[in-house]
Chains A and B, each alone.
Chain A
Amino acid sequence: DTAVSQTPKYLVTQMGNDKSIKCEQNLGHDTMYWYKQDSKKFLKIMFSYNNKELIINETVPNRFSPKSPDKAHLNLHINSLELGDSAVYFCASSQTRGIHGYTFGSGTRLTVV
C-alpha cells in the first residue's frame, strides 16, 4: 500500500535513554516532516526535510536530531529522554510546498517513565 509508515507504533522507555523513530514514505514525495502532539492534543511541527536537506528546524532541544538518508526516509533520534518528551510523534510527507496535501503516518506514542 502507498503510505507513510512509522516504526515503532508504541515506545516505552526510561528517562535518560536514547531512542529512534523511523519513518518511510513510498509516495514519491520530496518533503518529509516530524510533528509532535502533546497531551493537550496540539500538533506542532518540529522538522522538515526537502530532498535530504533540512529546511525547517523549529525551536526543538538539541537532544532531538533528525536524519534523512534519502528522500523516502526521515528518522528521529532522541538523546537523554525526559518525561516531557512523552507525546505522539507523527511523520508526514508532501510534494514540495505541500499545496496539494500532506500525508501523515499513524503516529508513534512515546512514553518516558
Chain B
Amino acid sequence: DAKTTQPNSMESNEEEPVHLPCNHSTISGTDYIHWYRQLPSQGPEYVIHGLTSNVNNRMASLAIAEDRKSSTLILHRATLRDAAVYYCILIEGAQKLVFGQGTRLTINP
C-alpha cells in the first residue's frame, strides 16, 4: 500500500482556516487521495477525496499538487467540532483503507 506522511499534531484557532498537509511521494497514477477524520469516541468519517484536480465540498477543500506527491486538506473556518484525528489515505482499488497515524487537530477557542 502506498504510504502517506502527516504531522502528528497541529493546532489552530476557532474561526481560522486550517491547512493539513500530507505527503505521498510514492503515489501511483491510479491512486485516489482520501481524507477521513475521527472525532472522539466516534467512527471514522469520510471528508473528501480526489484524483488530480482540486475538490470542494461542504466540509472542506482538497488541494492536490500538480505532481500529486502531496496534498492539503483545507478547513476554511475551523470550529471546535472540527477537533479530530485527520487521516490522509491513498486508495488504489485494493478495496481496503489503510490508516496511518493521522494528524491530531486541536482547535483553540
Contacts and interface: CB of A to CB of B under 8 A. Distances in A.
Q: 8 closest A-B pairs (Cβ-Cβ)?
A: A104-B43, A43-B99, A101-B46, A97-B93, A45-B96, A104-B44, A90-B43, A106-B43
Contact of B45 (A33, A41, A44, A104): A104
A50 B93 CA distance: 13
Q: How large is the interface on B (under 10, 10 to 19, 20 to 34, 35 or more residues)?
A: 10 to 19
B97 to A, nearest CB: 6
Interface string B24-46: 00000000101010100011111
Interface in A20-66: 31, 33, 35, 41-45, 48, 50, 55-56
B42 A107 contact: yes
B83 interface: no
B73 interface: no
Interface of A: 4, 31, 33, 35, 41-45, 48, 50, 55-56, 90, 92, 94, 96-107
B95 A97 contact: yes
Interface of B: 32, 34, 36, 38, 42-46, 49, 85, 91, 93, 95-99, 101
A91 B85 CA distance: 18
B95 A48 contact: yes
A43 B27 CA distance: 21
For chain A, what secondary structure do more than half of its interface residues adopt (helix, strand, loop), or is it mixed?
strand
Contacts of A104: 43-45
Contact of A45 (B32, B45, B85, B97): B97
Nearest to B104: A41
A50 B95 contact: yes
B14 to A, nearest CB: 24
29 contacts: A31-B95, A33-B97, A42-B99, A44-B99, A45-B96, A45-B97, A45-B98, A48-B95, A50-B95, A55-B95, A56-B96, A90-B44, A92-B43, A92-B44, A94-B95, A96-B95, A98-B95, A99-B91, A99-B93, A102-B36, A102-B44, A102-B46, A102-B97, A103-B46, A104-B43, A104-B44, A104-B45, A105-B43, A107-B43
